C-alpha cells in the first residue's frame, strides 16, 4: 500500500451524486444474508461490550477483521452488515464490537462511549491477540469508530497491539468543526436524527437516577444540538470539563502524524458531516494512505455496477483486504509492478 494523498477512484451512480442522496442511499441497498453469533466481552471495570461474529467458512486458520461502528450504530447498520459479509466472503473471521450500550442490552456502569474512548477497543484487540496467536489482525472503523481507531493507533506507536493494518472510513477528525457543520443547513436533519437516538437511550437512565448528571429529563428534552448534548451529557459522564475540552482531547486529526501502521483512510470531500477542508492542514504519518473522493457523502459511496446500485465502499475495503492477504504479510510490503493496485477499486 503506497502511503500519501491519493484521489479515490469512486464514481457515483449516474444522477445520484448529491451528497445527501449518497449519504442516504446505503439504506436502500439490499442487505447481505448474514448470520451473526453474539458474545459478551467482560471489561476490567465491571462493564461489558457486545460482539457480533461472522464466522469464516471451515478450513485453514482465518485472518481477523475487527469492525468499530459509528455514532449510535450497531450490527444492524447497513455498512456494518456489508463490511462483515465482505470480509467473511473472503475467508476472514469478522467481528463487530458494539460500543457500550449500543447492543441489545444497556451497559451496567453510569457512563456511555465517545469518539476518543480507546480503552475498550484496546482491551478487545489485546484479548483477540491472545485468543488467536499468530493470526493477522486488521481493524476498521467507521465515522466515530474511525476517529477512535486512529486515536488508538496514535497511542500505540510501537504497535504493541500487533495489528497488520487499519482502515478508517469517514473519520470526524475535527470534532468541534463537525459539530458546527451539523448545525447548518440540511445537515441539521442528521443532527436531529442522532440527537433523537442519543436522548432515547439516556432519558430512561435519567428517570431512574442512575446517571451522575445534574440534568433533568425536561432539560435533556430541550437540548437541540450535539454540542449542547456533549456539554450536558458526554463531557461530564466521561471526565471532560465541557464539550470544547472533549472535542480537543478526543479529535484524532492532530495525532495522525505519528501513525506508522499501514492505514487506509477513505474520505469524501462533500461529506455533509465534515467541515471543508478537513485534511489540508493535517500531517499524515508515514503509514497513512489517504484516498479522497470528490463525492460520496457520509459513509455513502454508492456506485452503479453490473446493472444495479452497489457499495463502492465495501468493494474498496474488500480490495484492500485482498491486497493485504496477497502480500503474505498483511500490508507490510508495497505491491510490485505485477500486483493488483488496490487504488483501482
The span from the CA of 155 to the CA of 118, in Å, is: 9
pTM of the model: 0.94
Query: Residues with Cβ < 8 Å from 1, sequence gap 6 or more?
Result: 165, 262, 264, 289, 320, 323, 324, 331, 334, 335, 342
Question: Exactly one of 271, 311, 323, 343 is catalytic; which is it?
Answer: 271
For 54, phi then psi, to 5°, come to -110, 105
Check residue 61 and give its pLDDT. Answer: 78
Contact (CB, 8 A) for 237 and 230:
no
Q: Which of 183, 237, 184 is nearest to 206 (CA)?
A: 237
Q: Which of 115, 143, 251, 311 is flagged as catalytic?
A: 143
Q: Centre a 10 Å sphere on the Cβ of residue 6 and count the other Cβ atoms it contains.
A: 13
Q: Confirm whether 269 is a catalytic residue.
A: no
Residue of 176, 172, 197, 141 whose CA lies nearest to 273? 172
Rounded distance between C-alpha atoms, residue 119 and residue 137, angstroms:
18
- Catalytic residue status for 322: no
Q: β-pairing, 308-311 with 302-305?
A: antiparallel
- Catalytic, out of 230, 267, 298, 323: 298
Q: What CA–CA distances, in Å, run from 120 to 98, 116, 178, 211, 274? A: 10, 11, 24, 20, 26
∠ CA(339), CA(340), CA(345), 5° rounding? 165
Cα-to-chain-centroid distance, residue 337: 32
Q: What is the pLDDT of residues 138-166, one digit of tens each?
A: 999 999 999 999 999 999 998 899 999 99
Alpha carbon 39 to its chain's center:
20
Cis peptide before 295 (omega within 30 of 0): no
Q: Are 40 and 47 within 8 A, CB to CB?
A: no
CA end-to-end distance (rounded Å), the chain = 13
Q: Is 2 in contact with 289 (CB distance < 8 Å)?
A: yes
Helix-helix angle 312-327:78-89, to 10 degrees = 30
Based on the residue annotation, tell me whether 306 is a catalytic residue of this protein: no
- List, in order, residues 6 or more apart from 160 with CB less than 8 Å away: none
d(CA 285, CA 243): 27
pLDDT score of 149: 98
Question: 208: number of CA atoms within 13 Å, CB side?
Answer: 8
User: What's the confidence (pLDDT) of residue 344?
Assistant: 44
Rg (CA), the chain: 19
- Alpha-carbon span 275 to 175, nearest angstrom: 10
User: How far is 87 from 124, CA to CA, in rounded Å?
Assistant: 19
Are 51 and 94 spatial neighbours (Cβ–Cβ below 8 Å)? Answer: no
Mean pLDDT, consecutive 10-residue stretches, the chain (345 aa), reads 96 98 95 94 98 83 95 97 96 97 96 98 97 95 98 94 97 98 97 97 94 95 98 98 98 97 98 95 97 98 97 98 81 35 43
Amino acid at each position: 500500500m503506497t502511503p500519501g494523498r491519493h484521489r479515490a477512484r469512486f464514481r457515483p451512480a449516474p444522477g445520484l451524486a448529491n451528497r445527501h442522496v449518497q449519504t442516504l442511499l446505503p439504506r436502500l441497498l439490499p442487505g447481505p444474508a448474514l448470520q451473526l453469533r453474539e458474545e459478551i466481552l467482560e471489561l476490567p471495570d465491571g462493564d461489558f461490550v457486545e460482539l457480533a461474529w461472522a464466522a469464516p467458512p471451515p478450513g485453514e486458520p482465518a485472518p481477523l477483521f475487527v469492525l468499530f461502528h459509528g455514532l449510535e450504530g450497531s450490527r444492524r447498520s447497513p455498512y456494518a452488515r456489508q463490511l462483515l459479509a465482505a470480509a467473511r466472503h473472503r475467508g476472514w473471521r469478522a467481528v463487530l464490537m458494539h460500543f457500550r450500550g449500543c447492543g441489545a442490552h444497556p451497559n451496567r456502569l453510569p457512563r456511555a462511549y465517545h469518539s476518543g474512548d480507546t480503552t475498550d477497543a484496546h482491551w478487545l484487540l489485546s484479548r483477540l491477540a491472545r485468543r488467536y496467536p499468530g493470526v493477522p489482525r486488521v481493524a476498521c472503523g467507521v465515522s466515530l469508530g474511525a476517529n477512535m481507531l486512529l486515536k488508538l493507533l496514535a497511542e500505540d506507536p510501537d504497535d504493541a497491539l500487533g495489528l497488520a493494518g487499519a482502515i478508517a472510513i469517514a473519520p470526524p477528525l475535527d470534532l468541534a468543526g463537525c459539530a458546527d457543520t451539523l448545525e447548518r443547513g440540511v445537515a441539521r436533519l442528521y443532527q436531529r436524527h442522532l440527537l433523537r437516538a442519543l436522548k432515547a437511550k439516556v432519558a430512561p437512565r435519567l428517570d431512574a437516577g442512575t446517571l451522575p448528571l445534574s440534568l433533568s429529563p425536561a432539560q435533556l428534552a430541550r437540548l437541540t444540538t450535539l454540542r449542547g448534548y456533549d456539554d450536558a451529557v458526554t463531557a461530564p459522564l466521561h471526565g471532560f470539563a465541557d464539550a470544547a475540552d472533549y472535542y480537543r482531547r478526543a479529535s484524532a486529526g492532530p495525532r495522525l502524524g505519528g501513525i506508522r501502521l499501514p492505514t487506509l483512510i477513505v474520505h469524501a470531500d462533500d461529506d455533509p458531516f465534515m467541515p471543508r477542508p478537513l485534511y489540508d492542514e493535517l500531517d499524515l504519518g508515514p503509514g497513512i494512505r489517504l484516498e479522497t473522493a470528490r463525492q460520496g457523502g457520509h459513509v455513502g459511496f454508492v456506485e452503479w455496477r453490473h446493472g444495479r446500485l452497489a457499495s463502492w465502499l465495501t468493494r474498496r475495503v474488500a480490495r484492500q483486504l485482498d491486497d493485504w492477504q496477497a502480500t503474505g504479510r498483511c500490508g507490510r510490503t508495497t505491491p510490485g509492478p505485477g500486483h493488483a493496485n488496490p487504488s483501482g477499486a
